[in-house]
Structure 1
Amino acid sequence: MAISSLVIPRAFVRFAPLLLLCLMTAGCASGPMVKLRQQPYNPLAERLKLTSRGGPKASSRTRQLLRRHDLPENVGLKIRPQLNAVADLHSQTPSRESTFALAELSYIAAKKTEMTRPQAAMELYFNSVAYSYSYLFDERFGSDHNRYDPRFRNACDLYNSSLESCLRIARKRGQLKPGHELEFTVAGRHFKVAIDPRSNNWRSEDFDSFEFVSDYDLKGLNNLYRTYGLGVPLIAVRKTGAAPQEIEQYYAPGLSFPVTAFLRLEPDSSGRGDVTTLRLELYDPLEATTVEIAGRQVPLESDISTPLAYFLDRPDFRYLDTFGLLRPDKAERIAGLYMVQPYQPGKIPVVMIHGLWSSPMTWIEAMNDLQSVPEIRENYQFWFYLYPTGQPFSQAAVRLRNDLDQVDAVFMARDGGSALRNKVLVGHSMGGLLAKLMTLESGDEFWNGVSQTPLANVNASPNANQQLQQIYYFEQNRTVGRVVTIAAPFRGSNFANNLTRWLAKQWITLPRRTLGVTKQILVRNPKLERDLENVAGMTSIDSLSPDSPFLQVMQDIPPPAEVPQHNIIGAIRDLPLDENTDGIVEYDSSHRSDVASEIVVNAAHSNIQRHPRTVLEIRRILLEHLADYNRGSATGIVPLSGRRPRFDRGNSPAFDVKSSPLKQRPQRGWTSATGHTAVGR
């Protein structure tokens, strides 16, 4: 029965929005990504009893030093006498033990003073930073430091917590900005501390403000990636408009990224450990994980997950998926490529393309996991493609093709080009169709799939003719070096049935420009009405139907041999693979016989892109692509793409289907070199 002949009861129409929400499960609802803590996280809180009754309280080792020198153990309101006494002791016979005690007592004294005398507290915090630094690196104490001593890590915590407290006070004064200077007055000496960004990825003028990672509790990501060392993890909020407009368009407003603040103390040449130079260095933990101090590499404290979640913790981001589905006419203005870090020359772009009723938010879990891998974050940069998913996927592919051309034009001259010419496209669901389309040479195939009239014989205005050319004629994008498709409906989905297609037409508002072009062509070419009746007013749901002419033609166009393609399929039922499904896309629709690798993951359609097995497979593929790229660079021949696809599962993280709960049947049309299908769960 044709959709136009359906008779829909009024009650049914009234509940159509609810039915649409129930039937279309590809969308995702998300809660807050981060939560503001009542108190900042402080590793010293429990150890020094900072918030306990009767606290703060010095550690047992510091109290022991006080006892040995006949000093009161209880650091009550009058802590200055003990602090001064230990300082006198230290000036006579400096030792690591007294240095640590001074760092700890200075920190406790600062905590007691901060509410009423912030300037005095800042000086005490700085003293704690200086003594902690001396405990860790002062050459007077020799190089035979016992790093197994708990005080070693405690000294790191004292350095980090004291520096963070200094920076909090500086932020209240408006001094925590690149280009400004922090000011300390300690023991009558006045210090001006320059803020020095140490990154190839951003400049001083890129920063608008800083937040402290310790203020936030991560909620929206499963995994928290942090490293332990020295420094204060910060969230740097980028200043909107800091880049030229041609580059600014790729950065979302409020973009934030991780930073680690490290205060370098350089002693004078007297040998007494007196500090002469201070410099606050800002490091990008995605670029640098260590810092050189006293001739050795010291790890930086960092958190690369919380800044990402902080940036995404915006209500408008949570509704991008529904907005892009129901109002593609409005969503067009925000469509395009987006970067989550300033552009990094020499790094290979990974373009992540979301699916139907989705947004770039769907990739955050995978990106968080992938950027934790040193080889990946050092060699790749992640871009996200946002597009209106209410339009047919072919029209979204036109926009992606144009946007890839534009980003190449902007950055190719800045980069030398080799990394940009080896992009990896990763597409989920409908996004997988877009990714595959970027590699195809269609010729007349798409147009012939909808009309027997040659396009040259169609009476259309130059503008309409150009749009037809863009939609129906695809050329291979030569800067795409590899493609990964995930749960993509290559042969359509039974989810796109008469009911869902009718509902989509009621609630999806297509751009007037698209409808106007089709109407103009039909007015000028009445004989084309029969040919174009299936594509006129087509929504994305229509384009994903098994009878979609675009999908049928795509099956007949072979991908280029020089661009390796990899496929990941979801399966959730205890059935043979050829009868299985991920809940939206059947196995037979998602399966491909023309790929370099293919695995099946025990995951539903809306979750497969963030499933650990999927992320591990993407990781494997990216490392393989990097190895191919480096081999080409080493020989002086940088490949435009990659290698001829090969059927190999040797390094796949998935396992043999025989060990899977999914029942095995002989596979149709595809086998690996090892003769089995890999399945992850």
Structure 2
Amino acid sequence: MTKSYHYSIITIMALLSGCQVIHLKESNLSSALKSKNESILTDNTLSHQTQNLLYLVKEDEKTCLQNFDDCLKKIRSLSENSSREERYAALSEIYLAKALDVGRSSQCNATLKSNSCVEQELALFDKSLRYSYVYLFDSEESPFDRVFDHRQNQVRIFYNVALSKLMTTYFNHLNTLHFPPLLKVDGHEYHVNFDHAVDVQHIEVDTFRSSYNMNFSGFNTVNRKDGLGAEFIVGRKEHDVNHGFILDPDAFYAHQSNPNIHLPRFFPVTAIAYPKQKATADQVIDGAELEIAMFDPYRQDRVKVEGVDYPLTANYSAPYGLWLSKYNLGAAGYWSLINKEANLIMPHLYMLEPFNPNKKIIVFIHGLASSPEAWVSLTNDIMGDAELRQNYQVWQVFYSTNMPIFESRFQIYSLLN
């Protein structure tokens, strides 16, 4: 009986050890897709790919960000259980997560950040940018081999955001009206190249901000294109000059510029960063000099990196939308009807992009008690259509509808000439 008892125990143990531990659990489609898209930028938590890598080094998101240097050492020491590309992607996200975490801290979440806070954020954005670059452009597989790889799209966004945060943080902390030709971050150098954005190189800048998360309630759609690079709005500092009413503007402005003809107030700019000279992945990570190339998306929509052609990120609606929202032109139009808009005694001409002699000009003139806002949808549609955008440029005339019709006609004609 004892022998039989032992056999029974052994049989039970064998059955218990063979119990299934993996069970099928189907999620609904929306949850499954949401899980794939989660990252530090969408849900304030690391992507599941990065969390899987942390699991290999016995870390989780919280402990990794708290014991940051130790966590980084563990990840870099991985060799057999993960690919080089997996480590690059994870480190790009972890550095970005740490930078955002530092920015939210009580010591750094202030209107005027201390130098130490800014330097710490910049150093982290720098590392995130470098790891995302080597993942995208220095991997065994080319970006086109991974064209449908969701992870590649995530890391492309890490690259764009890290560059955007690095540049806006650096520029806004400088408190200057001009772009510096050289950025120094954590001992690393970034050379800024304006060859493809000459219109913003020498202007006085009073606004430099990312347009990535800009939305405008009055637009049917925000015309933007996903691609490579960080998208920005550059605002030109204006110097208001008001000569009052001029009876004969042709004679008055014969030998001087007319201040009522306004160059673009806001410019779209796309920036990419890449090694200034040929460099290995390790050299890029360790601080090789990078070049930041600035592009005018109205003039260039593709760029070559490592000999391969890529579409550039672009936002065509943001400059126009920001201009409309800043100046509240609709209200000014109504005030002009009852002669209470002092700045609209003379008609004004507004260019929405730098003058391009290769494009035909469309001039929009509004009606009674109105403003350039009357043309919002049509103007935005022109900017959103590739063929129209490449062949036409929009100018908008804003004038006081309180003025006699023949006088308005004469003044507007003189302005356009």
Aligned to 2:48: 60
Q: Sort the Cα spacing of 1:266 and 1:90 in 2 relative to 1 into closer, same or farther, 3 A.
A: farther
Distance between the aligned counterparts of 1:51 and 1:221, measured in 2? 24
Match of 1:282 in 2: 294
Tell me, yes or no, if the aligned pair for 2:337 and 2:369 is still in contact at 8 Å. Answer: yes
1:277 to partner: Cα distance: 2.5
CA 1:143–1:161: 2 relative to 1, 3 Å: closer
Q: Measure, in 1, the Cα distance between the counterparts of 2:318 and 2:281.
A: 41
Alignment match, 1:72 = 59
2:38 alignment counterpart: 47
Match of 1:307, as an amino acid?
A: P
* C-alpha contact (below 8 Å) 1:328/1:390 kept by paired residues: no
**Structure-2 separation of matches of 1:79 and 1:107:** 12
Point out the more displaced range, 117-126 or 351-360: 117-126
Q: Which residue of 2 aligns with 1:204?
A: 201
- The answer as to 2:106 corresponding to 1:109 is no
Q: 1:183 maps to what in 2?
A: 184
Mapped to 1, the partners of 2:281 and 2:347 lie a distance apart of 60
Matched, 1:132 2:132: yes
Whether the 8 Å contact between 2:50 and 2:90 is mirrored in structure 1 is yes
Q: Which residue of 2 aligns with 1:39?
A: none
SS of the residue 1:237 aligns to: strand
Q: Helix, strand or coil: the match of 1:382?
A: strand
Over 3 Å counting, the alpha-carbon distance change for 1:57 and 1:336 in structure 2 is: closer
Cα offset for 1:130? 0.8
- Residue number among 408, 411, 417 corresponding to 1:396 in the alignment: 408
Per-residue deviation at 1:367? Answer: 0.7
Instruction: Give the superposition deviation at 1:339.
Output: 1.2
Aligned to 1:374: 386
C-alpha displacement of 1:328: 9.2
Residue 251 of structure 1 aligns with which residue? 262
Gaps of 5+ in 1: 1-42, 406-681
Equivalent of residue 320 in structure 2, options 304, 308, 313: 308
Separation in 1, partners of 2:299, 2:372: 23
Distance 1:296 1:207, change over 3 A: farther
Alpha-carbon shift at residue 182 of structure 1 (Å): 1.8
Distance 1:180 1:142, change over 3 A: closer
User: In 1, distance between residues paired with 2:94 and 2:344?
Assistant: 59
For residues 172 and 201 of structure 1, the distance between their equivalents in structure 2, rounded to whole angstroms, comes to 21
Structure 1 distance, partners of 2:343, 2:101, is 53
CA distance in 1, matches of 2:166, 2:281: 26
2:347 maps to a residue whose letter is A
8 Å Cα contact 1:216-1:306 kept in structure 2 = yes
Aligned length, in residue pairs: 352
Scaled by the length of structure 1, the TM-score of the pair is 0.47
Please state whether the residue corresponding to 1:351 is helix, strand or coil.
strand
SS in 2 for 1:390: coil
1:364 aligns with 2:376: yes
Given that residues 260 and 347 in structure 2 are in contact (C-alpha distance below 8 angstroms), is that contact kept between their aligned partners in structure 1? no
User: CA contact under 8 A between 1:103 and 1:132: conserved in structure 2?
Assistant: yes
Q: 2:354 aligns with which of 342, 351, 354?
A: 342
> Per-residue deviation at 1:92?
12
2:339 aligned residue:
327
- Matched AA of 2:188: F
Change over 3 Å in CA distance of 1:309–1:112 after alignment to 2: same
1:212 is matched by which residue type in structure 2?
A: S
Q: Secondary structure at the match of 1:349?
A: strand
Shift of 1:111: 2.5
Deviation at 1:152, TM superposition (A): 0.9
Matches within 5 A, 1:164-563: 164-174=164-174, 177-185=178-186, 190-199=187-196, 202-208=199-205, 209-214=207-212, 216-240=214-238, 246=257, 249-251=260-262, 255-266=265-276, 268-269=278-279, 272-274=282-284, 276-314=288-326, 317-327=329-339, 333-405=345-417
1:140·1:271 contact (CA, 8 Å) conserved in 2? no
- Structure 2 distance, partners of 1:313, 1:271, is 44
Q: Secondary structure at the match of 1:280?
A: strand
DSSP-derived class of the 1:383 partner? strand
State how far apart, in whole Å, the 1-side matches of 2:51 and 2:197 are: 46
1:271 positional shift: 6.7
1:86 aligns with 2:75: yes
Residue pair 1:262, 1:281 contacting (<8 A) in 2 also: yes
How has the CA–CA distance of structure 1 residues 167 and 330 changed in structure 2, closer, same or farther, with 3 Å as cutoff?
closer
Kindly tell me: are residues 345 and 241 of structure 1, through their superposed partners in 2, closer, same or farther at Cα, counting changes over 3 Å?
A: farther
Cα deviation digits, residues 181-206 of structure 1 (max 9, x gap): 32112xxxx22223322446614122
**Cα distance per residue 1:247-295 (max 9 Å; x no partner):** 654216x811222232223464557453533122222222222221111
CA distance in 2, matches of 1:245, 1:137: 51
Q: CA deviation at 1:335?
A: 0.5
Which residue of structure 1 aligns with residue 12 of structure 2?
Answer: none
Identity of aligned residues (%): 23
For 2:100 and 2:416, the matched residues in 1 are separated by 53
Contact map agreement 1:250 1:338 (CA 8 A) in 2: yes
Q: Deviations over 1:486-542 (max 9, x none)?
A: xxxxxxxxxxxxxxxxxxxxxxxxxxxxxxxxxxxxxxxxxxxxxxxxxxxxxxxxx
**Deviation, structure 1 residue 169:** 2.4
Cα displacement (A) at 1:153: 0.7
For the Cα contact (< 8 Å) 1:233–1:258, is it kept in 2? yes
Counterparts of 2:185 and 2:313, CA distance in 1: 24
Separation in 2 of the partners of 1:331 and 1:271? 56
Match runs of 1:589-608 below 5 Å: none
The structural deviation recorded for 1:342 is 2.4
What whole-Å deviation, never above 9, does each CA across 1:39-78 have from its counterpart, x for those lacking one?
xxxx99x8235797xxx543222222333x4432344222
The structure 1 segments of at least 4 consecutive aligned residues displaced by more than 6 Å after TM superposition are 90-94
- Tell me: CA distance 1:200–1:180, structure 2 relative to 1, closer, same or farther (3 Å): closer
Aligned residue identity for 2:60: E
Which stretch of the first structure deviates more once superposed, 136-145 or 358-367? Answer: 136-145
Higher relative contact order (CA 8 A, sep 6+): 2
Change over 3 Å in CA distance of 1:154–1:270 after alignment to 2: closer
Given that residues 175 and 181 in structure 1 are in contact (C-alpha distance below 8 angstroms), is that contact kept between their aligned partners in structure 2?
A: no
Could you tell me which residue of structure 2 aligns to residue 621 of structure 1? none
Distance 1:194 1:245, change over 3 A: farther
Paired amino acid for 2:210: F
Over 3 Å counting, the alpha-carbon distance change for 1:95 and 1:198 in structure 2 is same
